[in-house]
Amino acid sequence: MTVLERSTDAGWRRAVMHALRDPLVVLDADGAVIEFNQAFTDMFGYELSDGPFRPPFPWWPTEEEDPEALATIQGLHDEGLSRNDFDSEVPLYTKDRRKIWVHTSGASVDLPFSGQTAKIRVLRNITRDKQAQERRAAAARVSAEFSGTDDLATLLAVAEHGFELLFDGGSTIQIDLDERYLFASGKNLSVDDLHPEVAAGLAGSPSPDTVSYRRGILLVPQTSTIGARAWVQFPRPRRISTEEMIAADLLAQAFGLAIDRGIERQRSADKQANLEQAMISHRLVGQAVGILVERHRILPIEAFDRLKQASQNRNLKLHDVATRVIETGAEPENA
């Protein structure tokens, strides 16, 4: 075959690659990128001109982002170079470091005229499916925690951090007894403290809308006799999936039952006094979370998980662990 024919053949193959809707990457026998198509560029933001690309690829997680996933992907990549087929699910990152879950599959092909073997990898974005799985698992964990505690301070903290984890936003919890009580970011708020959008969200009604971009999601337990609801404010407006609505409804019911149980735990005790004591305890938990966030530069949910784990391991109430962290400055495991 002449040089012109080879060029034409290469151009034809490149045209086929770029016509594919799924991202596709071609690797040489050493695992370096030979080519990828426009669908890959559209998904991850990288151009061939940004290369050359050799492992570890920039779309892999870094050691700081996810060391376990990085080790897994490196192992799969090395294994895939010696196999004829390849199939796995892995987390990858866009150029602006946005996490995407992909299903990747591929095969080995012999390159004409060179005698070399190339590895073809076809990627499919499964982020929504993966997020749905993770959300279901997280919702089950939070619901189990709701059913496993009747301490109001612990319940409020679990709800606040659980809602934020599940729906990726800041949560505000409202409980109505003889007066209205509001909780957010480990603090007790007044009505005047609420941002107008949060106030409007709490005053609204749940909506089945999965098309419009929305500011947040409202959880209203139909089972609660107390009058409890929660609003999760998104960092930016977005659509709410059917899966999220199902999770929100289930969590709302579990939360409502738990609130009722917590307030009625001591039937002879004054409900108002019971809730006011929970408010004090909740504020202490928020302060302890803030201390750990500042000290270790971690996320609030990670700080809360440390407090909760120490509470369980040491058979202490959550607010007792928080108080010791505040008063002694010790770590939750040692306070």
Same domain for 72 and 210, yes or no, is no
Same domain for 145 and 112, yes or no, is no
Same domain for 112 and 150, yes or no, is no
Tokens 């966030």, located at residue = 293
Q: Which two tokens stand for residue 209?
A: 């809308």
186 Cβ contact partners less than 8 Å away, ≥ 6 residues apart: 157, 160, 282, 283, 285, 286, 287, 289, 290, 300
Domain final position from 94, 125, 156: 125
Same domain for 157 and 173, yes or no, is yes
Same domain for 158 and 288, yes or no, is yes
Closest CA to 196 of 233, 166, 160: 233
pLDDT at 1 over 60: no
Domain final position from 75, 93, 125: 125
pLDDT at 150 over 80: no
Same domain for 149 and 76, yes or no, is no
Residue 152 within any structural domain of the chain: yes
Domain final position from 81, 97, 125: 125
Same domain for 82 and 159, yes or no, is no
Same domain for 183 and 75, yes or no, is no
pLDDT at 5 over 60: no
pLDDT tier at 4, thresholds 50, 70, 90: very low
264 Cβ contact partners less than 8 Å away, ≥ 6 residues apart: 271
Residue 335 within any structural domain of the chain: no
Residue 334 within any structural domain of the chain: no
Same domain for 244 and 318, yes or no, is yes
pLDDT tier at 40, thresholds 50, 70, 90: very high
**48 Rama sector, left if φ>0, alpha if ψ -120 to 50, beta otherwise:** alpha
Query: Which phi and psi angles does 223 have, rounded to 5°?
Result: -90, -15
- Reported residue count of the chain is 335
198 Cβ contact partners less than 8 Å away, ≥ 6 residues apart: 172, 184, 216, 231, 233
User: Which residues span the domain enclosing 37?
Assistant: 3-125
Residue 321 within any structural domain of the chain: yes
CB 273 within 8 A of CB 236: no
Residue 224 within any structural domain of the chain: yes
Q: Percent of the chain having pLDDT more than 90?
A: 33
CA distances in angstroms from 65 to 1, 62, 275, listed in the order given: 48, 5, 40
Domain count, the chain: 2
The mean of the pLDDT values for the chain is 84
* CB burial of residue 249 (10 Å; 0-12, 13-18, 19+): middle
The CATH number assigned to the domain holding 269 equals 3.30.450
3-state SS assignment for residue 242: helix
Single pTM value for the model: 0.62
What digits encode the pLDDT tens for the residues 242-300? 888 888 888 899 998 888 887 776 555 566 676 777 777 888 888 888 899 888 888 88
Same domain for 171 and 268, yes or no, is yes
Closest CA to 252 of 174, 196, 188: 174
Q: Which two tokens stand for residue 67?
A: 């060391």
Same domain for 87 and 214, yes or no, is no
pLDDT at 172 over 80: yes
Residue 42 within any structural domain of the chain: yes
d(CA 147, CA 254) in angstroms, rounded, equals 7
The CATH number assigned to the domain holding 88 equals 3.30.450.20
Residue 91 within any structural domain of the chain: yes
pLDDT at 316 over 90: no
Residue 333 within any structural domain of the chain: no
Same domain for 27 and 154, yes or no, is no
